[in-house]
Structure 1
Amino acid sequence: MTRDRSSVEPGQRFGRLVAQEEVLQEAEEGPARRAVRCLCDCGTEVTILLQNLKHHSRSCGCTKRKDTMSEAFRNRGRRPRLFVAEPGMRFVRLTVLQEERKRMPNGAYVWVAHCQCDCGQETTATVNNLKNGQVQSCGCLHRERVAATNALRATHGLSDHPHYHRWRNMMGRCYDRRDPHYANWGARGISVCSEWHDPQTFVRDLDKLLGPCPEGHSLDRIDNDGNYEPGNVRWATPLTQRHNQRRAQNP
């Protein structure tokens, strides 16, 4: 059965309005017309003609009145928050210490979180930026990505060395957001030790620590939650790597 393309799905958003259900609205003359019962972000419930909702209406009228909080919400006090950065929560390299409501220079209030970075530095970021992934460290992660990009562009004469291709793949997984594997490495906070940002050092150390790669093996981290660094790498078969994969964890 083909779905009516003109219909509105429950939960569909139109500006500040969220559709709840379609209803029929009686008209003084003519047949009943299709309408949608909506909940505005200010807390007001309103019924709007379907054609108006799709082309014009974007709120219950609160934006025109410059009143973005209904009487029902006023009676309850401050609008309930949808996301709270609680102490101990982690966002890539940042651990939340505490959050507070802060007034900005323009007079608006925002929630900010004071965080401890894995590198030891403390930093402050808005809760929205933490939640959306726009802030992931005190700035050290960005500096590492810049260094990694510069290293990739450097001329070093190692293009034909087998370890160099492993180095490029490793750096891409950890620092290149466009890499298809970034979500399971860099986005989780997995990084490469600073010494190995230099491909020559990486190739030399890998030759010294592990030697040539055996057939059917590839580079693997011993501690799957650890970084690429001396003492945490080995040659492993695909089966060993599958057994070493992180287990699914509750968010």
Structure 2
Amino acid sequence: MANIRDLTGQRFTRLEVLRLVKQDKHYNLYWLCKCDCGVEKIIGGSGLKSGATKSCGCLNRELSRKRKTNLTHGYSNKERLYWTWKGMKARCYNKNNKRYQHYGGKGVTVCDDWKHDYQKFRRWALDNHYEDNLTIDRIDNNGSYCPENCRWATSKEQANNQSRNRILEYQGKKMTMSQWADYLGITYGTMNSRIQRKWSMERIVNTPIRGHLIVN
């Protein structure tokens, strides 16, 4: 014991060393320490001197609670973007989600960076012009959620990009039903009704609305 550096009375962050407890066969020293929170615990000397052990464990618990508090109260209760992130993951991984069959059920996933870290997703969103009136849209509907395949779009823009949206062509123009409705100045409901009644595109385009010809 003559060559042992006595740590008794020394402080290491939240820990005060009370006394040496034992030395194992590998000459590792273990000290009884009292934490600022009042807990006494035997801790290895190497952990104390290297700074790896700063408390009885209470410091890590406090930091963990703080991180969870920041996420819960700083984002989930206030930021629409947080719920966008949660919804994106639910569609891809929660089989009980009503939209799972169109996402996770078809192999759509969320990249690892976004799946496990809301902060990374949040930084990407804010760097890419996120606004509360926009929704996340996959550029390639067969691809997954990742920075290279996502953008922020209005609900109408996203609807036009959905794989299930029907593309209609007339005189060289190719547009979705929603885009044709806007182009013709009619409601989506009217457009859909005409499609369901099996109208030709020529008839849809040239049938007047309330006495007015839609387009030339």
Report if TM-score (shorter chain) is over 0.5: no
Larger gyration radius, structure 1 or structure 2: 2
Name whichever structure is richer in helix by fraction: 2
Per the normalisation by structure 1, the TM-score is 0.35
Name whichever structure is richer in strand by fraction: 1
